[in-house]
């Protein structure tokens, strides 16, 4: 196997030289780690729902960050209420739930993507990152209607 070039961007598409098309990647971010399979609560089990391959449990497409400040709640099941909570999930490399429902340490999910390693972040860096995420709001897009002109087209 030759080393494959990897590119991670907001649309999370990977472009292999010569393939002529983008591959969409899916990741298990360690949002859950239920005891016993599947480690994510059904019916939201990621692309495992379609492939039935054990390694696909909890794998979801990375959502766009465009307008992320105005699209709460977050994650495939809306179980994360705020951008701060998203960072609480991503920074330790997975979410730990301690209540009766769904308890488990997501960071120890056996199917977690190796790219989700966690990171240390100061409170200043956290506010800077959230300010950056907030800056991705595109008000023109938010208030676009069926009759809005397409950019570059003259209004009639």
Minimal distance in Å, beta carbon 101 to ligand HEM? Answer: 16
3-state secondary structure of 75: coil
Q: Is the CB of residue 59 less than 8 Å from the CB of residue 27?
A: yes
Minimal distance in Å, beta carbon 106 to ligand HEM? Answer: 10
Kindly state the DSSP code that residue 108 receives in the 8-state scheme.
G
Stretch of 13-21, 47-55, 108-116, 139-147 contacting ligand HEM, by CB under 6 A: 108-116
Judging by beta carbons within 10 Å of its beta carbon (0-12, 13-18, 19+), is residue 50 exposed, middle or buried?
A: exposed
**80 HSE (CA, 13 A, CB side):** 23
14 binds ligand HEM (CB under 6 A): no
Looking at residues 25 to 54 of the shown chain, list those that interact with ligand HEM (rule: CB under 6 A): 27, 29, 31
Pairing of strands 96-97, 104-105: antiparallel
19 binds ligand HEM (CB under 6 A): no
The residues binding ligand HEM (CB under 6 A) are 27, 29, 31, 60, 62-63, 68, 71, 74-76, 83, 86, 90, 113, 115-116, 129
């Amino acid at each position: 196997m030759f080393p494959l070039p990897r590119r991670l961007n907001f649309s999370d598409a990977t472009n292999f030289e010569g393939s002529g098309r983008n591959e969409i990647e899916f990741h298990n971010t360690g949002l859950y780690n239920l005891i016993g399979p599947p480690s994510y609560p059904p019916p939201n089990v990621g692309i495992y729902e379609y492939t039935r391959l054990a390694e696909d449990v909890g794998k979801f497409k990375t959502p766009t960050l465009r307008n992320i400040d105005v699209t709460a709640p977050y994650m495939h099941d809306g179980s994360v209420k705020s951008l701060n909570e998203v960072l609480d999930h991503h920074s330790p490399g997975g979410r730990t739930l301690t209540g009766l429902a769904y308890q488990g340490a997501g960071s120890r999910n056996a199917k977690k993507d190796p790219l989700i390693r966690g990171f240390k972040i100061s409170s200043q860096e956290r506010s800077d990152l959230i300010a950056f995420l907030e800056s991705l709001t595109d008000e023109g897009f938010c208030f676009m209607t069926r009759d809005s002109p397409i950019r570059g087209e003259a209004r009639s």
